[in-house]
Structure 1
Amino acid sequence: MTQNQLTVFLVDDDEAIRLSLSRALAKRGYRVEAHASAASFLAAWSEERRGCLVLDYGMPGMNGLELQARLNAMGATLPVIFITGHGGVPESVQAIKGGALDFLEKPFRQAALIQRIEAALDLARGQETARQDGQRRRALFDRLTAREMEIVERIVERPAETSSKEIALYLGISPRTVDHHRARILEKLGLKSIVELIAVAKG
């Protein structure tokens, strides 16, 4: 994922700040999407839209902390950086406890914000890589039959009991049948050993 495929979402009710930050970030090559309210952002955003959120704390209606809480309740993983001219220590503590990467007080140096944005986008890239890896793993395991998945689950649950005889005893089938299934599982997943299978299944 390249930087241009990620979006810096900027939510601030102060139009002057939205315009100045949007221009400054765009000049540095970032894709920026600015919103004047939390409601506007929520109406436009979805989990598939990756990047980071630069969020003002003190907004009318739903404030920054309330938006952060809403995103957390949705299970969103969008990295959040707070900017504020109103918040104090309790608000910053609450924001960080809620998972925010930082809480910058206005006025702040743009260089400091850029540094936080880069860290947030690095995190977003890592999240996207993990998501894609998870999708690939699920696609691989979707190729297995119900019986093969039963054997995989038993191997992962009891890695010390992975012999064909032990699995056969648990499932009530013959060790030879287990051997056949194990060979098919490794072939379908493109793996060479049970050790690899356990690592992929747990990954």
Structure 2
Amino acid sequence: MNSAPDPCVFIVDDDEDIRTSLSRALRTRGYNTCVFDSAQAFLDGYEADQSGCLILDYGMPEMSGLELQKLLVVRGYSLPVIFITGHGGVPETVQAMKLGAIDFLEKPFRQEALIKQIDTALELDAQRRQGQDKARNARARFEKLTEREREIAGLFVSNPSSASSKDVARQLDISPRTVDHHRARILEKMRVNSVAELIDLSNTTKLFESPGKRA
């Protein structure tokens, strides 16, 4: 099995000198880089499963950096964004940060400041993807539960204070022994050791939220 590619620092700027100098400086420091001369070029070349972060020029023609950021949000892409700009103002900064930008650096900026934000962005992206993988794997295991097992698991999660076999048996009008049997199967299939772990897994991966509500 091929390992996942290393994270990439995507650089989107219509200024060739900036693209070249940034890419060269980052590669010298050991980062992988991919450069694009416009927002549309980035959209055409980027795939949602590519990890990394995005260094994005704010003031580009045709599609601005902020417009690209908004489009990425709409499409559900979680790639962290670091804005660079030569004429940023407070309203632009506020808009970008509200949409989740890591930082808004005005040119000329110190390379050390950018490196610090890149490292922050790459760590954030790694954490997000780990969370997404955990949720995806948990959902796959959850789908293997029978309808009755999902019902009982839902009772465990929705009301932990009344999650004893007797409490659940009373609610479903079945025997506590039957609940014990189902609980053992639920824990085995979900690969957890206790109901407490099942509840924690459900809370972190939103197992019992409908697909439309999940982020």
TM-score w.r.t. structure 2 length?
0.87
Instruction: Give me the whole-angstrom Cα distance separating, in 2, the residues matched to 1:94 and 1:202.
Output: 30
Structure 1 residue 51, shift from structure 2 partner: 0.6
Equivalent in the alignment of 2:71: 70
Structure 1 residue 12, shift from structure 2 partner: 0.3
Instruction: Give me the whole-angstrom Cα distance separating, in 2, the residues matched to 1:187 and 1:50.
Output: 32
Residue 106 (1) aligns with residue 71 (2): no
Instruction: Give me the whole-angstrom Cα distance separating, in 2, the residues matched to 1:35 and 1:190.
Output: 43
User: Which secondary structure state, in structure 1, belongs to the residue aligned with residue 101 of structure 2?
Assistant: coil
Summarize deviations over 1:41-83 as a string: whole Å, max 9, x none: 0111122011100000110001011111111111221110000
Equivalent in the alignment of 1:172: 173
Equivalent in the alignment of 1:41: 42
User: Which secondary structure state, in structure 2, belongs to the residue aligned with residue 5 of structure 1?
Assistant: coil
Structure 1 letter corresponding to 2:31: Y
Instruction: Give me the whole-angstrom Cα distance separating, in 1, the residues matched to 2:51 and 2:192.
Output: 32
What 5-or-longer segments of structure 2 have no aligned partner? 205-215
Equivalent in the alignment of 1:32: 33
Structure 2 letter corresponding to 1:51: G
Please show how residues 52-63 of structure 1 align to structure 2 within 5 Å.
52-63=53-64
What 5-or-longer segments of structure 1 have no aligned partner? none
Instruction: Give me the whole-angstrom Cα distance separating, in 1, the residues matched to 2:12 and 2:138.
Output: 35
TM-score w.r.t. structure 1 length?
0.92
User: Which secondary structure state, in structure 2, belongs to the residue aligned with residue 78 of structure 1?
Assistant: coil
Instruction: Give me the whole-angstrom Cα distance separating, in 1, the residues matched to 2:105 and 2:201.
Output: 40
Report which stretch shifted further, 43-52 or 186-195: 186-195
Report which stretch shifted further, 17-26 or 137-146: 137-146
Summarize deviations over 1:132-185 as a string: whole Å, max 9, x none: 222232233233222111111111011111122321232233322212111222
Structure 1 letter corresponding to 2:203: K
Please show how residues 81-120 of structure 1 align to structure 2 within 5 Å.
81-120=82-121
User: Which secondary structure state, in structure 1, belongs to the residue aligned with residue 202 of structure 2?
Assistant: helix
Residue 135 (1) aligns with residue 129 (2): no
Structure 1 letter corresponding to 2:29: R
Instruction: Give me the whole-angstrom Cα distance separating, in 2, the residues matched to 1:94 and 1:187.
Output: 46
Report which stretch shifted further, 25-34 or 127-136: 127-136
- Report the aligned-residue RMSD: 1.8
User: Which secondary structure state, in structure 1, belongs to the residue aligned with residue 182 of structure 2?
Assistant: helix
Instruction: Give me the whole-angstrom Cα distance separating, in 2, the residues matched to 1:71 and 1:190.
Output: 34
